[in-house]
Amino acid sequence: MRLCYDPADDVLVLDLVLPPQLAPTSIPTIAHARGLLDLTDRGSLAGLEIPLADLPPALAELCRALADDEEVTYVEIERVVATRSFRSVTVPIAIRWDGQQRLSLRIPRRTADYELLYPAGAT
């Protein structure tokens, strides 16, 4: 997984490269969902929870293969010590599939409800 910032669209981009055996042939190239972005007490981006019910069926099945849970997929962004406290913010997610092996999760850096001060992660 790779996290980067796309200044042209002012979004954070999480690129997930899938194993070839999981790469489906027919899922939507773009989907939209709402997720919960977890931030640590120090402002780091800890992870992103995506409810599978918000996704098109083929994309939800792909995400189920990546997760242990039937209802959500959690993408860990940064490994954190368990004693840290978290806060969460609801974020819109644009999900792009390249048709091969890469799933990109695109999160706006700011909306009317929040602003992420990437790379610090503060809101």
pLDDT digits (tens, 9 = 90+) for 91-120: 999 988 877 778 889 999 998 888 887 555
Q: What is the pLDDT of residue 86?
A: 79
Q: What is the pLDDT of residue 24?
A: 63
The number of helix segments (H) and strand segments (E) in the chain equals: 1, 7
Q: What is the pLDDT of residue 93?
A: 94
Query: What gap in Å lies between CA 82 and CA 39, rounded to an integer?
Result: 13
| pTM, two decimal places | 0.81
Structure tokens at 2: 């790779």
Mean pLDDT of 8-35: 80
Query: What gap in Å lies between CA 93 and CA 40, rounded to an integer?
Result: 20
